[in-house]
Amino acid sequence: MALTDIWFLLIAVLWTGYLVLEGFDFGVGMLLPFVGRDAVDRKVTLRTIGPVWDGNEVWLLVAGGATFAAFPFWYATLFSGFYLALLIILVALILRGIALEYRGKLDDSSWHRRWDLVIVGSSAVPALLWGVALANIVRGVPMGADHEFAGNFFTLLNPYALLGGVTTLLLFALHGAIFLALKTHGEVHDRALKLVPPIGLATVVAAAAFLAWTQAFDGSALTWTLALAAALCLIGALAASRFGREGWAFVGTAATIALAAATLFTTLYPNVLPSTTDAAFSLTTVNAASTHYTLKIMTWVAVIFTPVVLAYQGYTYWVFRKRLGRTDIYQPAEKVTS
């Protein structure tokens, strides 16, 4: 296997890891008003992701950095052509980080409500736009021989891409609901479980339509197999949740996201950004890649440091594995209903 193929695979793995881990973060943020009926419940909800949300975003930084170093022409076209969409995502992620950090700085109900609105909005916007971006990468965008994006922001808002955005929005919400059911007990747990069936039904419909549409572009036996496996994992997650097996349900939604991402990247290969103007203008793993020497150095760096990062993040999840409930939250007198 050529180094260009290895790095395409590694970047696909990095993006998949980001979508799986940040996916439940976004889901928890979007569901905050629905599972947190008072101040204590909202604290329980946010503390489920408190120790891990910023670590999950490291996957995005590494994925972006790896794309820049391994495939600079892909990075250049992607980040210039998708500039406005990615800027909106970046602003949302910044606001989300600020909200999660500053929400608890004052013991004031109006202060909390304002930041809660920011958390909900800044979780929903990236959840939607990441799906739009990924769908456009797979479908292709108008590009000339110079590999410059020839469209605008509204070119990206085509029906297929919007369906992709709705799919990721719903899938992340479902992932977050099941994560909350796994990580909490008491009222937050019960409310999260009640949200799973309606969100799950909508997710099944949207995901089935999106994956079928994706296969209509350039489906193969492998991508059909991956898409079918994603569908089975999603159904299995809903069944496990119904029988109170939240751990298996979470594994199911995580596998669904991973297999859906694998379907998209497998459909994309050997392109990294197809051109809808002329197939000859498409960026591929060959014409978008860095030099062999650069890829070789990057490979050694990845071999050395990737296991360290994985071990540290795995340890973090192990340390904070305990379920949370109202009794784990300090409740000042006369403040619990604010």
**Euclidean distance between the first and the last CA atom of the chain, given in angstroms as a whole number:** 59
Q: Is the pLDDT assigned to residue 260 strictly greater than 90?
A: yes
Contact 166, 206 (CB under 8 A): yes
Average pLDDT, the chain: 91
Q: How many CB atoms lie within 10 A of CB 285?
A: 23
Show the beta-strand stretches assigned E in 254-320.
271-273, 283-284
Q: Is the pLDDT assigned to residue 337 strictly greater than 50?
A: no
Tokens 């950004």 correspond to what residue? 273
Query: CA-CA distance, 107 to 94, in Å (whole number)?
Result: 23
| pLDDT per residue as tens digits for the range 21-59 | 999 999 999 999 999 888 899 999 999 998 899 889 989
Q: What are phi and psi of 284, to 5 degrees?
A: -120, 175
Query: In the predicted model, what is the mean pLDDT of residues 262-290?
Result: 93
| pLDDT per residue as tens digits for the range 73-89 | 999 998 888 999 999 99
Query: In the predicted model, what is the mean pLDDT of residues 259-273?
Result: 94
| pLDDT per residue as tens digits for the range 311-335 | 988 898 898 888 888 887 765 554 4
Query: CA-CA distance, 23 to 172, in Å (whole number)?
Result: 5
3-state secondary structure 38-68: CHHHHHHHHHCCCCCHHHHHHHHHHHHHHHH
Q: Which of 185-189, 209-213, 323-327 bottoms out in mean pLDDT, i.e. has the lowest?
A: 323-327
Query: In the predicted model, what is the mean pLDDT of residues 213-225?
Result: 88
Query: In the predicted model, what is the mean pLDDT of residues 182-196?
Result: 94
